[in-house]
Structure 1
């Protein structure tokens, strides 16, 4: 009998404690819900009309009037962000235009047939559009990327060339020890190589084909000595 009374008292105490806890919870109300931090509101896009306004408007399916609107600015800024253009401020300047040209050419960069089709790899350098891509036969193995070629009187030499020397961490001995990462030389000192910083400053190179450093690295990993390079056209702003 003593054991039963003890067990009964223990169960009674536990039930009383549970009821007390339930009462406290009821008085306290429901537990507060956790809320994720609200995203910061998008800032207004206020960049003005740029030198390539009409070209970007046409590419993005906007009304082509050559005047920047708030909708134009926002659409151009979204394009810049999507394709890594800096600053992504909505203004259609040269870097945005060159990137747009490369994006527009991705479907068929050799539609005009200017780069010869061969069974082996050919690096195609289009001076007119300032584009580079690599093709084997009719298959594109490196999609078009924007480039910067030789300025007036230091033009990149047209025609067939061949990569004859590669220097991954090259530094120029002619131009103030300028870094030339992933250099692949194809004609009397002219090379395909990366350009740290902005690709589009100063109007042109001293004859080399400049790429962004990431694009130059991709090209380095694809090509080797003996690979063919074909250059044609005229860089805008240089004499034919």
Structure 2
């Protein structure tokens, strides 16, 4: 499907409508000119643990994250770090609910959290941070990756953490 001059929200609506579930439980997407594209039986995106409904995907076991678009990886995998023991990053399906380019933590003495994209309760976000140390539940990215996630994710986008 051509994306020239089509707003991203319209493309997402079209993408959601182009996905159908067959009686066998396979997810089929419609590609160019209406050709069927089989998606893995799990309904997931190849190379990630997340579904075609996700816009961002995090794999805590491999310390990786991706941006997904139209049922395919559009950015990543990128290396991440996440919460440690006692401050684990929550797993599940979430939606982006806020963004703040120059956020400072109210919980941790004003610690900088640049390029924050908030997606889970308790202020859990993607943000730029030291990937050599665990977080208090956030998903930390290097600077360039954090700016890409900030630029590509919008309120309401689905984030899957596995």
> Could you report, residue by residue, the CA deviation over 1:46-93 in whole angstroms, capped at 9, with x for unpaired residues?
xxxxxxxxxxxxxxxxxxxxxxxxxxxxxxxxxxxxxxxxxxxxxxxx
TM-superposed CA distance for 1:156, in Å, is 0.6
Out of 104, 107, 117, the residue aligned to residue 52 of structure 2 is 117
Gaps of 5+ in 2: 1-44
Gaps of 5+ in 1: 1-109, 233-240
Greater Rg by CA: 1
**More helix by proportion, 1 or 2?**
1
Provide TM-score, normalisation by structure 2: 0.68
> Could you report, residue by residue, the CA deviation over 1:18-63 in whole angstroms, capped at 9, with x for unpaired residues?
xxxxxxxxxxxxxxxxxxxxxxxxxxxxxxxxxxxxxxxxxxxxxx
Question: How many residues end up aligned between the 2 structures?
Answer: 118
**Match of 1:24?**
none
> Could you report, residue by residue, the CA deviation over 1:214-236 in whole angstroms, capped at 9, with x for unpaired residues?
1101111111111110001xxxx
Provide TM-score, normalisation by structure 1: 0.47
More contact order relative to length (CA 8 Å, sep ≥ 6):
2
Distance in 2 separating the partners of 1:223 and 1:181 = 15
**More strand by proportion, 1 or 2?**
2
- 1:206 correspondence with 2:139: no
Across the aligned residues of Structure 1 and Structure 2, the Cα RMSD in angstroms comes to 1.8
Out of 119, 135, 156, the residue aligned to residue 89 of structure 2 is 156
